[in-house]
Amino acid sequence: QVQLVETGGGLVQAGGSLRLSCAASGITLSLSAMNWYRQAPGNQRELVAGITRAGDTNYADSVKGRFTISRDNAKNTVYLQMNSLKPDDTAVYYCNANFIGTGYWGQGTQVTVSS
């Protein structure tokens, strides 16, 4: 079975930082493209950051310069370092994996940024 388990969410003041982790099982991370999405109440789910199998990264314009996605294939884990957090970053953050043509989702972790 495939599992993606997000951890690291919580409550933080504006300007603070959080690091989200997504631990994968049932897939090989080195063969997967990994992404972080987020969804705020009333909004569509949006792509925040992605990292390819080769290590290339991409970011939504709204988080460029503040968020960093990385992966540790040995630990089968992808991370999202979030700095300079803003209230608009408040959302449920979801880990997404694309492994051999199939997409998988974690259950999400709540990030709340207070003003």
Largest distance between two CA atoms of the chain: 41
Q: Measured between alpha carbons, how far is 41 from 61 in angstroms, rounded to an integer?
A: 20
Q: For residue 112, give the nearest of 6, 1, 7, 14 by alpha carbon.
A: 14
Tell me what pLDDT residue 21 has.
98
Q: Mean pLDDT in the chain?
A: 97
Segment 36-58 shows an average pLDDT of: 97
Tell me what pLDDT residue 51 has.
97
Segment 6-21 shows an average pLDDT of: 98
Tell me what pLDDT residue 104 has.
97
Kindly indicate the confidence band of residue 64, based on its pLDDT and cuts at 50, 70 and 90: very high
Q: Are strands 67-72 and 77-82 parallel, antiparallel or unpaired?
A: antiparallel
Kindly indicate the confidence band of residue 18, based on its pLDDT and cuts at 50, 70 and 90: very high
Tell me what pLDDT residue 46 has.
97
